[in-house]
A and B are shown apart, each in its own frame.
Chain A
Amino acid sequence: MDYSSFLQMHEEFSLLGVMIILLLYDIFASEKYLKYFQPIAIVLFLVHIVLNCVPRETFQVSGGMYEYLPIHSYIKTFLNIGTLIVFLQAHKFLNEDANRIKRGEFYFLTLSTLLGMYFMISAGNFLVFYLGLETASVPMAALVAFDKYNNKAAEAGAKYILLAVFASSISLFGISLIYGSTGTLYFNDLPALITGTPLQILAFVFFAVGLFFKISLVPFHLWAADVYEGAQTNITSYLSVISKGSAVFVLFTLLVKVFASLITEWQPILWILAVLSITIANLFAIRQKNLKRFLAFSSISQAGYILLAIISGSAIGMSSLVYYVLVYIFSNLAAFGVISVIEERTGKINIQDYDGLYQTNPNLSFVMMLSLFSLAGIPPFAGFFSKFFVFSAAASQGFYVLVFIALLNTIISLYYYLLIIKAMFLNKSDHPIEPIKSDFFARVSFAVCTLAIIAIGFISPIYDQIHLISFGM
């Protein structure tokens, strides 16, 4: 066996390198140097992003256990950028006295889950895939319970790990059925062997719900609101954006690559799940008073929209999905960033606390407004274009009813997104949130997100490039 092919896994090794350096630095550096930990971590990670952003040729490692495609560079880079923004926004939180000792852990755990996602994305075999899935979810549970003396966080961590184990056991059961009926776990060999017997369909369903859980589609979503609310806000944003982004990408590649012959089965499943997710999440979102729970349901419905890209199963679907994830990263992280800054300073997290925010914090209100506009899909912001591409991907395969239902739902979502904007800009309050000065790192993240939300839709090369490369999928 030629071990040198392992060295081709640049992204994974580079990320591992960053993790190990940070771990050692955290353990061995003296107090004097430790105060530079965060800037160093961010710079190191930035170097990692830059080094790995250029797509390479397709290759395989270990006889197909791991398979790299050029589009992987894009999706990994997008996840990296999202993670970087989370790091920037978490800077203040990690500098608090109670958390300073734990910040090495924060980075290590976050990057571990990211490494797991890398393996999920580039897996060529169900075993590697499963290992990636677990690597991505076990540290995540630890992250959710990061503030372990806080009852809510501890409860959220417990809920997350129990349900994640439950979901992945069902998924594993599905994988074992696949192996049982075909005798192989390699993605490249499976398509010829999957013929659509009832056992295989059952196996597929069991396997897929593991991913549905990660994407938090209705009815596999019930954990989301509780966990989002309990976890620290920066971790929630990581969970809702990065974790979800990687899972939808993987779901798409698996459906198209491995389960292509079951297309007549999985299209109706996705159809129903998309309608359920979008509609039910919207209905719940309307009634939420806590912003984190609100965003939990909003992100469930966003996941439903992404299914519209997946359901098309085409190259256009792929490019619209990657584009959607990119836009979603910036829009959602901007919203979470504002919430975390405000929660960090004032502890206020309810929608009605935001009454009159514009009077005292015009900049934060502005960022929040942009991100909500983008999430609601109002032109000319990036979210409009991403929704447009997703809808057109689904419509191009003839899912007109689905697109229609999704469109109706965007109206409902517009209502609840505007509720927050109304609170910030129109409502008057006797005790508005006092003026907040956010730290430098958070401001950088806001600038990046704002710029991206405004510009991504207009810079057509971005979509064109994604589209170009997803044809080679």
Chain B
Amino acid sequence: MQYTLLILALPLLSFAVLGLVDAKWKPKVAGTIGTTILGIITILSYFAAWQYFTQYKVDGVYQKVIAFDYEWLRFNDLLHINLGILLDPISVMMMIVITTVSFMVNLYSLGYMKGEKGFQRYYAFLSLFAFSMLGLVMATNIFQMYIFWELVGVSSYLLIGFYYTRPAAVAAAKKAFIVTRFADLFFLIGILLLSYFTKTFDFGILTSSNANVFAEATSKTFMGFSMLSWAMALIFIGGAGKSAMFPLHIWLPDAMEGPTPVSALIHAATMVVAGVFLVARLFPVYVVFTPEVLHGIAYVGAFTALFSAIIACVQTDIKRVLAFSTISQIGFMMVGLGVSGYGGHEGVGYMSSMFHLFTHAFFKSLLFLGAGSVIHAVHSNEMKDMGGLRKYMPITNWTFLIACLAIAGIPPFSGFFSKDEILSASYSFSPAMGGIMTFIAGLTAFYMFRLYYNIFWGKEFKPATQSENYHGHGNTPHESPFSMSSALVFLGAVTCVAGLIPFGHFITSDGVPYDIHINLTVASVSIIVALVGIIIATYLYRKENEIPEKLAKTFDGFYKAASHRFYIDEVYLFSTKKIIFNNIARPIAWFDRHVIDGTMNGIASSTQWVAVKIKGFQSGQIQQYAYVFLLGTLLVAALVIFLI
């Protein structure tokens, strides 16, 4: 399956053509190049997936296939960095998710970004992102993954800061980059620890559940935990940064400053699940050797899911609502992994987490693209500028509703099936965990329908005031152009049917397919809870009324705290600006400026001084040259004979 290399090479080529070569294309040409290439690799990855799932099952187990391998750096016989392509169920699934959503976003952007300055740059960055993200999921070893991990970070940075003339976008890009980079530092330390003790980067060896590989790492302990636990926990911190787990989630809401299709692609469907993918990739290590870390992941995931679901209930910027809902849903995925066991029905959490990743990618990108369509029409992100849009934008309305039902967990939409599996895995882990997750599912249904009603129902539409997302269209909202709505319709259709995929036949923790059974008790409880959430939302927001205001007044303190995202950003600002900058950075800066620079300047001026002084040697007189030559010879001889 060497042709899978094309799936990596083509987006890179497209990036090179659009971004590196010094040529100005017409926007239409640039967009067509980017979209066509994404289309081609989408078809290629569908073909690869078909081939993989039909032909690479040996004795009922899906094999790990190394489709391409190149040794890049060799340190010693054991430790070497390869660049290659690994195909296994999760990487193939991710390939499909990434290429499909990317393609949809490319298509959608043809309409959404029309007339923007830097259209070609935008498509170049999208290609770069597709390349990096595909490289990340197809990596054969953790080091290659790290390389692409950083590349993904860079392309995310570039795309968030796409409107580089807007200070908010620039600040958001910086924030996203710094926060994730900060987390990546731990990731890197984790990689170094892991490879130091296991002497390998290779996923094939790391995930073989071979105790010998980890013998050294488990036997050494540091502060009560084995080195392996430390390494795996540190690696998870890296994943938590990219996947916006509490308390590293602060960058994601701000990242919504980027163009909306970018939010759909990167900050909903693909990049932010990289952390989930990372944990899934190393799942055998977590589950067999460091279950305590895995449980930690479950608790972090659950807390994040709850925390951000609460915040999502009170946000008024529609993209921020979606951002917090994304964080919450990724929390769900982390919980799924965290509560999972290994193999067969024990591994249902793993399967469900991947399933949720898959379905979430589609309905969440649909939500974002729908939101983009709305923003495109009313030129604002704020709920107060919307309302009653269902009459003006029927396609957006229906597709958005489908996505809302999916995320709320109403059958037969895709989100129901995957979320239900996570819930039943949580119940078998502990009833408390199951209860909390069910409660969050109800909250999800509530805030999603609050969002939906506020956009499409509620008060009647009034023309928008001056706003940031001004596109230069007329004032009456209207349905988006074909390229945008076709993407919505396609994703809507996928959202309707994706849940019916027998996911357990493809992706399981140990590669052995099994049948999913829906736990009827769990399912009916979760449906009821979701319905309750939806009903409350309908009661509060379907028609314009006073109740939400009153509620906000009643719970004034809590409401304020939640809408300020529980002041986590302020905590960060305080600790960086007041504590780190004042007490650490400033003294270092002083030391640098006075002591280090002073020393360097001293060296420089004394170098100059010596250079002037010894100029006389180079007199141009040949007698003197010969004299020095002879003197040098004799000195060397004397030195060797008498001193050494």
* Residue ranges of A at the interface with B (Cβ–Cβ < 8 Å): 158-159, 162-163, 166-167, 170, 198, 201-202, 205-206, 209, 213, 219-220, 222-223, 225-226, 264-265, 268-269, 272-273, 280, 283-284, 286-287, 412
Asked if B614 and A220 sit within 8 Å, CB to CB, the answer is no
Chain A residue at minimal CB-CB distance from B631: A219
Residues in B whose Cβ lies below 8 Å from that of A286: 607-608, 611
Residues in B whose Cβ lies below 8 Å from that of A205: 633, 636-637, 640
Residue in A225, A273, A283 whose CB lies within 8 Å of B607: A283
Cα(A226)–Cα(B619), bound, Å: 9
Q: Give me the 6 closest cross-chain CB pairs, A-B, nearest first.
A: A219-B632, A222-B625, A205-B637, A283-B611, A209-B633, A265-B640
Contact with A along B308-332 (1 / 0, CB 8 A): 0000000000000000000000000
**13 pairs from A and B in contact (CB 8 Å cutoff):** A159-B622, A163-B629, A166-B629, A198-B641, A209-B632, A209-B636, A213-B629, A226-B618, A226-B620, A272-B636, A280-B614, A283-B611, A286-B611
A-contacting residues, B589-644, CB 8 Å? 607-608, 610-612, 614-615, 617-618, 620, 622, 624-626, 628-633, 636-637, 639-641, 644
Q: A205-B636, A264-B644 are in contact. Are A412 and B622 (CB under 8 A)?
A: no
Query: Shortest CB–CB separation between residue A228 and chain B, in angstroms?
Result: 12
Residues in A whose Cβ lies below 8 Å from that of B630: 170
Residues in A whose Cβ lies below 8 Å from that of B614: 280, 283-284
Residues in A whose Cβ lies below 8 Å from that of B640: 201, 205, 265, 268-269
Query: Shortest CB–CB separation between residue B32 and chain A, in angstroms?
Result: 32
Which of B615, B620, B637 counts the most chain A CB atoms within 10 A? B637
Chain B residue at minimal CB-CB distance from A268: B644
Residues in B whose Cβ lies below 8 Å from that of A209: 629, 632-633, 636
Chain B residue at minimal CB-CB distance from A286: B611
Asked if A284 and B611 sit within 8 Å, CB to CB, the answer is yes
Residues in A whose Cβ lies below 8 Å from that of B644: 264-265, 268
Cα(A243)–Cα(B531), bound, Å: 87
Residues in B whose Cβ lies below 8 Å from that of A265: 640, 644
Total count of chain B residues near the partner, CB < 8 A: 26
Asked if B611 and A412 sit within 8 Å, CB to CB, the answer is no
Asked if A225 and B618 sit within 8 Å, CB to CB, the answer is yes
Cα(A280)–Cα(B632), bound, Å: 14
Residues in A whose Cβ lies below 8 Å from that of B625: 159, 163, 222-223
Query: Shortest CB–CB separation between residue B612 and chain A, in angstroms?
Result: 7
Cα(A219)–Cα(B617), bound, Å: 10
Asked if B639 and A269 sit within 8 Å, CB to CB, the answer is yes
A-B contact count (CB 8 A): 76
Chain A residue at minimal CB-CB distance from B633: A209
Residues in B whose Cβ lies below 8 Å from that of A213: 629
Cα(A220)–Cα(B12), bound, Å: 53
Asked if B629 and A219 sit within 8 Å, CB to CB, the answer is yes
Q: A265-B644, A283-B614 are in contact. Are A163 and B637 (CB under 8 A)?
A: no
Query: Shortest CB–CB separation between residue B492 and chain A, in angstroms?
Result: 48
Query: Shortest CB–CB separation between residue A303 and chain B, in angstroms?
Result: 15
New A-B contacts (10) at CB < 8 Å, excluding given A222-B629, A280-B614: A170-B633, A202-B641, A209-B633, A219-B631, A220-B632, A264-B644, A265-B640, A273-B636, A286-B611, A412-B607
Asked if B626 and A163 sit within 8 Å, CB to CB, the answer is yes
A-contacting residues, B203-255, CB 8 Å? none
Cα(A205)–Cα(B638), bound, Å: 10
Query: Shortest CB–CB separation between residue B627 and chain A, in angstroms?
Result: 10
Query: Shortest CB–CB separation between residue A295 and chain B, in angstroms?
Result: 15
Residues in A whose Cβ lies below 8 Å from that of B622: 158-159, 162-163
Residues in B whose Cβ lies below 8 Å from that of A166: 626, 629
Cα(A280)–Cα(B616), bound, Å: 13
Query: Shortest CB–CB separation between residue A288 and chain B, in angstroms?
Result: 10
Residue in B608, B610, B628, B641 whose CB lies within 8 Å of A222: B628
Residues in B whose Cβ lies below 8 Å from that of A284: 611, 614-615, 618
* Residue ranges of B at the interface with A (Cβ–Cβ < 8 Å): 607-608, 610-612, 614-615, 617-618, 620, 622, 624-626, 628-633, 636-637, 639-641, 644
Cα(A223)–Cα(B629), bound, Å: 10
Residues in B whose Cβ lies below 8 Å from that of A219: 628-629, 631-632
Query: Shortest CB–CB separation between residue A215 and chain B, in angstroms?
Result: 13
Residues in A whose Cβ lies below 8 Å from that of B615: 284, 287
Query: Shortest CB–CB separation between residue A168 and chain B, in angstroms?
Result: 12
Cα(A225)–Cα(B617), bound, Å: 12
Which of A158, A163, A219, A286 counts the most chain B CB atoms within 10 A? A219
Cα(A220)–Cα(B631), bound, Å: 10
Cα(A287)–Cα(B620), bound, Å: 16
Residues in A whose Cβ lies below 8 Å from that of B629: 163, 166-167, 209, 213, 219-220, 222
Cα(A363)–Cα(B580), bound, Å: 47
Asked if B618 and A206 sit within 8 Å, CB to CB, the answer is no
Residues in A whose Cβ lies below 8 Å from that of B633: 170, 205-206, 209, 220
Residue in B612, B617, B637, B641 whose CB lies within 8 Å of A287: B612
Chain A residue at minimal CB-CB distance from B612: A287
Asked if A283 and B610 sit within 8 Å, CB to CB, the answer is yes
Cα(A209)–Cα(B622), bound, Å: 17
Residues in B whose Cβ lies below 8 Å from that of A272: 636, 639
Cα(A264)–Cα(B641), bound, Å: 11
Cα(A213)–Cα(B633), bound, Å: 10
Residues in B whose Cβ lies below 8 Å from that of A220: 629, 632-633
Cα(A273)–Cα(B644), bound, Å: 15
Query: Shortest CB–CB separation between residue A261 and chain B, in angstroms?
Result: 14
Asked if B632 and A201 sit within 8 Å, CB to CB, the answer is no
Query: Shortest CB–CB separation between residue B613 and chain A, in angstroms?
Result: 9
Residues in B whose Cβ lies below 8 Å from that of A162: 622, 626
Which of A163, A269, A283 counts the most chain B CB atoms within 10 A? A283
Chain B residue at minimal CB-CB distance from A223: B625
Cα(A269)–Cα(B643), bound, Å: 11
Chain A residue at minimal CB-CB distance from B604: A415
Residues in B whose Cβ lies below 8 Å from that of A201: 637, 640-641
Cα(A198)–Cα(B639), bound, Å: 12
Residues in A whose Cβ lies below 8 Å from that of B618: 222, 225-226, 284
Residue in A170, A222, A412 whose CB lies within 8 Å of B617: A222
Query: Shortest CB–CB separation between residue B639 and chain A, in angstroms?
Result: 7
Cα(A209)–Cα(B628), bound, Å: 12
Residues in B whose Cβ lies below 8 Å from that of A159: 622, 625
Asked if B631 and A206 sit within 8 Å, CB to CB, the answer is no
Residues in B whose Cβ lies below 8 Å from that of A167: 629
Chain B residue at minimal CB-CB distance from A162: B622
Query: Shortest CB–CB separation between residue A204 and chain B, in angstroms?
Result: 8
Residues in A whose Cβ lies below 8 Å from that of B611: 283-284, 286-287
Cα(A220)–Cα(B629), bound, Å: 5
Chain B residue at minimal CB-CB distance from A206: B633
Query: Shortest CB–CB separation between residue A238 and chain B, in angstroms?
Result: 21
Cα(A170)–Cα(B634), bound, Å: 11
Residues in B whose Cβ lies below 8 Å from that of A206: 633, 637
Residues in B whose Cβ lies below 8 Å from that of A287: 611-612, 615
Residues in A whose Cβ lies below 8 Å from that of B641: 198, 201-202
Residues in B whose Cβ lies below 8 Å from that of A170: 630, 633
Residues in A whose Cβ lies below 8 Å from that of B607: 283, 286, 412
Query: Shortest CB–CB separation between residue B162 and chain A, in angstroms?
Result: 29
Which of A167, A201, A209, A273 counts the most chain B CB atoms within 10 A? A209
Query: Shortest CB–CB separation between residue A251 and chain B, in angstroms?
Result: 14
Chain B residue at minimal CB-CB distance from A204: B640
Cα(A158)–Cα(B625), bound, Å: 13
Cα(A205)–Cα(B637), bound, Å: 6
Chain A residue at minimal CB-CB distance from B611: A283
Cα(A158)–Cα(B615), bound, Å: 23
Cα(A425)–Cα(B639), bound, Å: 47
Chain B residue at minimal CB-CB distance from A167: B629
Cα(A283)–Cα(B612), bound, Å: 9
Residue in A198, A223, A269 whose CB lies within 8 Å of B636: A269
Query: Shortest CB–CB separation between residue A299 and chain B, in angstroms?
Result: 15
Cα(A358)–Cα(B611), bound, Å: 29
Query: Shortest CB–CB separation between residue A316 and chain B, in angstroms?
Result: 16
